[in-house]
C-alpha cells in the first residue's frame, strides 16, 4: 500500500550534518533482502531518517547545506570567544577597574550576549527550515522507492522506526530494509556518491534491533559551543 508522506521531522540542531550520524549498524550494500515471514505477511522495518542520509542525494545536499552555513557558524564561534574573553577580563580585573569602566564592561558583555543569542536563533531557524525542505524533498522521492521495493519484494507492511514513538519495540535485524531501500534509491537517482562520503558502515549486522519501551534510540544531537 502506498503512503503519502506529509512531513519528515529531523531532530537536528545548529549547523552540523554529523547530527545525522547513524544510530546503529546498517546492512551492507550486498546484503540479501529480509527473510520471509509467513506467506502474505512479510514485514520490514526502515529508519527513514537514516535512509535519507544513506542516499547519495541526501548526503550531497546535506553537505552543501552545512558548507552554506559555515560562515555563520564561524561568526558565532568568534563572537562566543569575544564574550568569554570579556567575561574573563571582568573576573580578573573587575576589582581593579573604576566604576565607570566596570559598568561599561558589564554592559558590553550583555550587549554581545544579546547579539550572540539573536544570531544563534536566526541561524538555527534558517538552517532547520532549509534542512526541513531538503529532507522532505528527498523523503518524498524515497517514499516512491519504498513503494516499488515493497511490491517487488512481496512486503505486506514496512514500518518506520526512526521515531522514539514508534510502536515497534523489537525486530530482528534481518527485517531492516533501510540500506536496501537506500541502495535502490541510489540506483534509480543516478546521483554519484559525494567525494567526502564517510567510511561505509560495518558489514556485520546485530542479531536483532532492540527498542526499549521508554523510547529507544534517537538521533544524536549536537549543540553549539
- pLDDT for the residue 15: 33
pLDDT band at 12 (very low <50, low <70, confident <90, very high): very low
0.85 surpassed by pTM: no
Q: For residues 44-69, b (16+ Cβ closer than 10 Å) or e, as one string?
A: bbbbbbbbbbbbbbbbbbbeebbeeb
Summarised one tens digit per residue, pLDDT across range 60-88 is 999 999 999 999 999 999 999 999 999 99
Enter the C-alpha cell of residue 49. 531518517
Q: Which of these, 160, 159, 161, 152, lies nearest to 184 by C-alpha position? A: 152
Amino acid at each position: 500500500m502506498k503512503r503519502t508522506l506529509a512531513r519528515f521531522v529531523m531532530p537536528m540542531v545548529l549547523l552540523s550534518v554529523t547530527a545525522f550520524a547513524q544510530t546503529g549498524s546498517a546492512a551492507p550494500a550486498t546484503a540479501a533482502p529480509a527473510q520471509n515471514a509467513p506467506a502474505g505477511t512479510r514485514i520490514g522495518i526502515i529508519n527513514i531518517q537514516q535512509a535519507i542520509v544513506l542516499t547519495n542525494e541526501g548526503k550531497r545536499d546535506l553537505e552543501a547545506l552545512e558548507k552554506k552555513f559555515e560562515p555563520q557558524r564561524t561568526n558565532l564561534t568568534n563572537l562566543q570567544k569575544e564574550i568569554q574573553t570579556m567575561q574573563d577580563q571582568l573576573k580578573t580585573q573587575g576589582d581593579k577597574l573604576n566604576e565607570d569602566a566596570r559598568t561599561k564592561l558589564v554592559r558590553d558583555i550583555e550587549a554581545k550576549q544579546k547579539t550572540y543569542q539573536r544570531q544563534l536563533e536566526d541561524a538555527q531557524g534558517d538552517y532547520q527550515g532549509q534542512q526541513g525542505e531538503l529532507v522532505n524533498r528527498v523523503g518524498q522521492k524515497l517514499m516512491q522507492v519504498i513503494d516499488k521495493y515493497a511490491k517487488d519484494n512481496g512486503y505486506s507492511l514496512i514500518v518506520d522506526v526512526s521515531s522514539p514513538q514508534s510502536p515497534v519495540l523489537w525486530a530482528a535485524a534481518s527485517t531492516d530494509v533501510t540500506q536496501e531501500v537506500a541502495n535502490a534509491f541510489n540506483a534509480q537517482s543516478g546521483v554519484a556518491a559525494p567525494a567526502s562520503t564517510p567510511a561505509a558502515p560495518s558489514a556485520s549486522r546485530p542479531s536483532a534491533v532492540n527498542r526499549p519501551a521508554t523510547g529507544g534510540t534517537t538521533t544524536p544531537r549536537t549543540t553549539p559551543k
